[in-house]
Each structure stands twice: as structure tokens, then as C-alpha cells.
Amino acid sequence: MNIFRLAGDMTHLLSIIVLLLKIQATKSCAGVSLKTQELYAVVFVTRYLDLFYSFISLYNTVMKIIFLLTAFTIIWYMRKHKVVCQTYDKEQDTFRVLFLIVPCFVLALLVNHEMSVTEVLWTFSIYLEAVAILPQLVLLQRTKNVDNLTGNYIFMLGSYRALYLVNWVYRYFTELGYRQWIVWVSGTVQTCVYLDFFYYYVQAWRNNERMKLPG
């Protein structure tokens, strides 16, 4: 474990906490894409199957359980909570997620470290995570309302993977023979997907104004 990866994990955890607080405090999920939340739940389920058969560390196990529980809690709020589910703009959140899931799964079958069920599913989760934010970014473009908390959520979600990129550089130079090409390429793509958002987020922050996306 290094400081970059710990910072990345904490930023990821914080992003989820911010989203949960937004939903719980405002009893609203306006501007939040349920599709992205469901894609992330798929990412966590397919990636953390090793919870059942391999123990890495207490930290690793606890964080996986937290990520799984919070992901499903957010989905429960958006689908089942009587007040919150009325604030979900279903008509705008229409991204065809199959166009993300199927290619990622096919790619995981073609490019992986080992042709085993758990390894293919793990690889699938790596590819899927790179594009899981797309429905959320599309929803923002459509609804234009980037409320502060949702903006912070997306910013931190993008930042965590950027911190992981630094972690991979660090591990490459400090751990002889450490290679994770699949994760490195996918993580780079994932971070690039956020660059446009980062640009407008930082611009709004610099001008100390509410974030607005181009027409």
C-alpha cells in the first residue's frame, strides 16, 4: 500500500459518501444517473467475487464490503425510497447501457490474464468501470443542472482513478516486475473520460461560480 493508492481509495469512498449524503439530506436524486449507479454495482459485484475465496487484508475486505453496501443502498434509495424515487428523472437517464456492457464483456473474453470465470469477470469489471460514468455525464449534459454535491461526487470519482494512475507509476518503479497492463490502460481511458468534466469543474471553481456545461 502506498500513499497514492490510499488517497485514491479514500477519495473513492468520500465520493460515495458525498452522494449518499446528498440523497439522504436533500431526499432528492435529481441530476444523478441511476444507470451509472447500477453499472458501478455490477463493477463491484464482478470485481469482488474474491471476497468469498481469497483474503488479502482486513482493509481490502472491509473496503470491498463498504463499496458493495453503499452501491446497493444508493440504488435502493433511487428505486424504492418513496420520496427520493420521485425525484429521479427517468426520461432523461436513457443511456443504452447494453452498449457498454456487451463490448466490455466481449473484450474481457478476448483480452485477459487467464480464461477463468472469476478472472474474466474481474477483467470485465475493469473495462466496465472505465465507461460506467458515461450515463451520468450524458445526463448532466441533458439536464444542465449540475448541483454542487453531484459535481463534487463526479469530480472525486474521477480523481480517485487519477490517483490510482500515480499509484501504478509508483509501483512500477518500486516493485520489480510489477505489471498490470489491462488495469493501466483501462484506468488511463477512465481518467481521460473525465477530462472534459474536470475542465468545466475547475473553470467554475476558479471563477467561483456555479458549474455550467456548454450548450
Helices (H) and strands (E) in the chain, counts: 8, 0
The site string for another protein over 16-55 (x = CB under 8 A, - otherwise) reads ----------------------------------x-----
Q: Which is nearer to another protein, 69 or 202 (CB)?
A: 69
* Burial of 28 (C-beta count, 10 Å sphere; 0-12/13-18/19+): middle
Name the segment binding another protein (CB under 8 A); options: 82-90, 133-141, 175-183, 197-205.
Answer: 175-183
* 154-173 positions binding another protein, by CB under 8 A: 164, 167
Measured between alpha carbons, how far is 73 from 161 in angstroms, rounded to an integer? Answer: 22
DSSP, residue by residue, 6-31: HHHHHHHHHHHHHHHHHHHHHS--TT
Q: Which is nearer to another protein, 179 or 212 (CB)?
A: 179
- Phi then psi for residue 30, to 5 deg, are -60, 135
Q: What distance, in Å, lies between the first and last C-alpha atoms of the chain?
A: 43
* Burial of 36 (C-beta count, 10 Å sphere; 0-12/13-18/19+): buried
* 80-139 positions binding another protein, by CB under 8 A: 113-114, 116, 119, 122
Q: How many CB atoms lie within 10 A of CB 213?
A: 17
Name the segment binding another protein (CB under 8 A); options: 28-36, 63-71, 132-140, 141-149.
Answer: 63-71
Residue 147 engages another protein in binding (rule: CB under 8 A): no
Q: Is the dihedral of CA 170, 174, 175, 181 positive or negative?
A: positive
Q: Which of 7, 45, 51, 63 binds another protein (CB under 8 A)?
A: 63
Q: Which of 60, 87, 145, 188 binds another protein (CB under 8 A)?
A: 60
Q: Which of 101, 183, 185, 204 binds another protein (CB under 8 A)?
A: 183
Q: Which of 24, 92, 180, 188 binds another protein (CB under 8 A)?
A: 180
Q: Which of 4, 67, 127, 155 binds another protein (CB under 8 A)?
A: 67
Cell numbers for 37: 449507479
Q: Are the beta carbons of 164 and 156 closer than 8 angstroms?
A: no
Q: Which is nearer to another protein, 122 or 197 (CB)?
A: 122
Task: Find the shortest distance in angstroms from Cβ 103 to another protein.
Answer: 22
Q: Footprint of another protein on this chain (CB under 8 A)?
A: 5, 9, 12, 50, 56-57, 60, 63-64, 67, 113-114, 116, 119, 122, 164, 167, 177, 179-180, 183
